[in-house]
Structure 1
Amino acid sequence: MQLPLEAVAATKLIEVVRISALPAGRDDPYPGTAVAHWTGSEAAAALALIESLPGSAQHRCGFSPGWSVRAYDNSLDLALFEAAFCFTCHEVRMRGTAVPPALATQFFDPGALPARSLLSLFRKAAP
């Protein structure tokens, strides 16, 4: 999976969100509860894991993501990007000022080891 390289380099904090609904508007963040904040090597490892997700064909489920990550720089102001993961339809939707249109929708193999590892990290983060 491709992430916006400049945003990855600038990321200082990742917020893990357990998504509760779809956003009200196209540019709104996915609503939900922040269940973890990762910094330093933990954030770098998570980004590397996400980047290692192998591609997949598109599957149709209606896109019902359960988890997202929001990447922030030092300002902690606006997210550089948010990536919402649907492990049913194999789709990741990214948004944010650092996300070029070509990276906005991607597909990954949820059965691959990196995807299972990522889902495990998400689940461990949830209360």
Structure 2
Amino acid sequence: MATFDGPTGLLLQVGPDAGLDPDELTELAARLRTELLDDLDLTDAEPVEEETAPEDAKGLGSLAGALLVHFVDIEMLRAVVTSVRNWVGRTGHVVELSLGGDTLKVTGVTAKQQETMIDDWLARHAAVS
């Protein structure tokens, strides 16, 4: 089991290419956040504000719809990714997950294709200890 040195942050960005306005992105992120907090035992899942934004976030538009989700182990990361995949399947929106500079775009591709991409992405992070 991979463990991480304290809580680790996963950046979620709802619909970065969806052409939605910042208010719509913020509302979608709030719905996803509520679902994640209701369903999982997360350390934290907070909207990304300008002062807490990653260095590569450029302007408020790129922050709208962004959440920073903290987790402590690979099992929790897997649970978060599974919840995001299920949310994307229900809503039809795209979510990008970024961890340590590695980004995974969860889209409406077939379940098998998405599962393969997610498993590959998680495998890269399972080696982190």
TM superposition score category, shorter chain reference: 0.3 to 0.5
In terms of fraction of residues, the more helix-rich structure is: 2
TM-score by length of 1: 0.33
- Superposition TM-score, scaled by structure 2 size: 0.32
Higher relative contact order (CA 8 A, sep 6+): 2
